[in-house]
Amino acid sequence: MKKTIVNLCRLLLGVVFILSGFVKAVDPLGTLYKMQDYLLAMHLGKWLPDMALLAFAVGLAALEFCLGIFLLFAIRRRATSRVIAVILSIMTPLTLWLALANPISDCGCFGDALVLTNWQTFWKNIILLAAAITVVKWPLEMFRFVSKSNQWIVINYSMLFILVISGWSLYDRPQFDFRPYQEGTDLRKGWTQMMEGNESPYADFFIEKADDGEDITEQVLNNEGYTFLLVAPWLEKADDSQLDLINQIYEYAKDNGYLFYGLTASGETGINRWRDITGAEYPFCLTDGTTLKTIIRSNPGLLLLKDGTVIRKWSHNRLPNEYDLTSPLDELEIGQAPDNTTTRHIVEVMLWFVLPLAILSVTDRLWMWTKWIRKQHNSNCIYKKETKMRKKIVAGNWKMNMNLQDGVALAKELNETLKAEKPNCGVVICTPFIHLASIAQFLDQNIIGLGAENCADKEKGAFTGEVSAEMVKSTGAQYVILGHSERREYYKETPEILKEKVLLAQKNDLKVIFCIGESLEEREAGKQNEVVKAELEGSVFNLSEEDFRKIVIAYEPIWAIGTGKTATAEQAEEIHAYIRSIIAEKYGQAVADDTTILYGGSCKASNAPELFAKPDIDGGLIGGASLKAADFKGIIDAFK
């Protein structure tokens, strides 16, 4: 249920962001005009240059589009959903202000493609914000269409695609035209309806001769045949690089008896300046500036009407030239109404963007599926002894031996030896408290971990002589031995006390090496299994699976510690296997398979290889033999 809701929210947000980014990228100038309206409404009109606003418009479109794609493809799920939530939590109050103050009638979220009222926009944002909060809360519930290793293709391709769309729209004109002057529009009909008093987008459409103010709208629209309209909202800012081509088109129109007018909102000075610069001879008419910006996103741009219907639009970068205008328009392709350009553009977008990504997703899923099948096949064929290599460790327990100088010297020697010859297992040394800070200064903890032999069962305070887990951690140590039989016996550490110690150690991010093991009498009475089980249950089986996974177990039969009497490899393996089985009972086989279980008790270089060769013995906790670098190294080498 949760998964379904999160994925529905993701779909909704993804689609909305993609659409919103796409329609903006298709018409960056439209976004620019909208932003100018906003700035004007906030009395900040003159603060930002048009170029900066245009760059922002392109960036905004790319950001929205890419965020939508990332969400849809579940790329960087956490970061993407957070960024979307932040954007929406800024936009929602802003749109509330728009709805209340109404400085602009339409927010421009979807360009001209979908015009919403300010209140509709606000409620739309409330819904999107709720969806964004949902995906932020459970980002990992979003399933992937493309695996992580192939996501870079989607990222780069989407960015490139949307920037190319913006760039092309600026160079040419919007590929998708959602405004009321798109190719194929019968202006004559629209204008007549408006004149009859019907609601119409052409209310501000008028054409007045610049010299005498005569309104010739009706005349232009009712002209049977072709009319060229050169649309330049502001002649002062119009691009004059194509002036020769424009003059040639005018000559061509004159020769063929077509009407040709320049339409602008600039006054007389602007028109005269343009005439001076370009040598324009065509007549100029005045039209509303906003209407001109709506007609074509190019300054100047060219419009071709046939019997009052818009049949072609060209930006100044793509004007028809002498090779296109070879004969009268009714004999040329450009003189005919084009086929449905919207459908063609939709097909182009599909072919260039949607199809490659769809192919990528399908290939990727197939690849993942075959990988999965291969894995299944392998795991069925191969005899599964261990599903995963758990960590092998040799840990030293110095106990109460060596003063600071000797301890530092031993640690230095070990450090140098193991740096020169990298061990094949994890190595840890657990030292008296007073050694820790000095050793931490030089020990290469990528090779040798450092730990304490104990820590207090209290967090802090008036406990004279005790050392807390936090203090141990602050020395630079990472490990702590807890539950050693010597602490249980001589210092009366009960399972309850040890439970507290384990919790405090983990709270301070120390890895616990937890010791268990039976006495000689218990072994002789055949109670070893019972004893180790009770010790685990008493102090560590209360942990969550996640915390238990951080524990290393050390099985140390008390009768073997410091006595020279080792448990045989078979004896040790038997009880190690039993310990693993009760871990499996409590936490499941996977956790049991991953838990490192060390053997301790008179372990030395001579018996280590046999012990460590057993499948359930993952290394050792070494007392006496850890006090000399050579002896300890001999045990570590058992893993070679």
Return residues touching ligand PGA (CB under 6 A).
397, 556, 561-562, 600-603, 621-625
* Cα 640 from Cα 630, distance rounded (Å): 15
Coil, strand, or helix at residue 190? helix
Nearer to ligand PGA, 27 or 518 (CB): 518
Q: Contact, 509 vs 472, CB < 8 A?
A: no
Q: What's the closest the beta carbon of residue 565 comes to ligand PGA, in angstroms?
A: 9
Q: What's the closest the beta carbon of residue 619 comes to ligand PGA, in angstroms?
A: 12
- Biggest alpha carbon distance in the chain? 121
556 counts as catalytic? yes
Q: What's the closest the beta carbon of residue 489 comes to ligand PGA, in angstroms?
A: 12
For residue 585, count other CB atoms closer than 10 A to its CB: 12
Q: What's the closest the beta carbon of residue 488 comes to ligand PGA, in angstroms?
A: 12
DSSP string, 544-566: -HHHHTT-EEEE--GGGTTTS-P
435 counts as catalytic? no
Active-site position among 484, 493, 518, 576: 484
Nearer to ligand PGA, 108 or 396 (CB): 396
DSSP 8-state code for residue 353: I
521-547 per-residue burial string, b: 16 or more CB within 10 A, e: under 16 = ebbeeeebbebbbebbebbbbebeeee
Closest by alpha carbon to 166, among 295, 57, 66? 57
How far is CA 353 from its chain centroid?
Answer: 20
Coil, strand, or helix at residue 223? coil
Active-site position among 453, 556, 573, 576: 556
Q: Contact, 583 vs 592, CB < 8 A?
A: yes
Contacts 24+ apart (CB under 8 A), 37-45: 37/104, 37/108, 38/103, 38/104, 41/103, 41/104, 42/103
For residue 78, count other CB atoms closer than 10 A to its CB: 12
Nearer to ligand PGA, 399 or 580 (CB): 399
Nearer to ligand PGA, 16 or 512 (CB): 512
Nearer to ligand PGA, 271 or 430 (CB): 430
| Length of the chain (residues) | 640
Nearer to ligand PGA, 92 or 401 (CB): 401
Q: What's the closest the beta carbon of residue 599 comes to ligand PGA, in angstroms?
A: 9
Query: CB nearest ligand PGA: which residue?
Result: 623
Q: What's the closest the beta carbon of residue 364 comes to ligand PGA, in angstroms?
A: 51
Residues identified as active-site: 484, 556
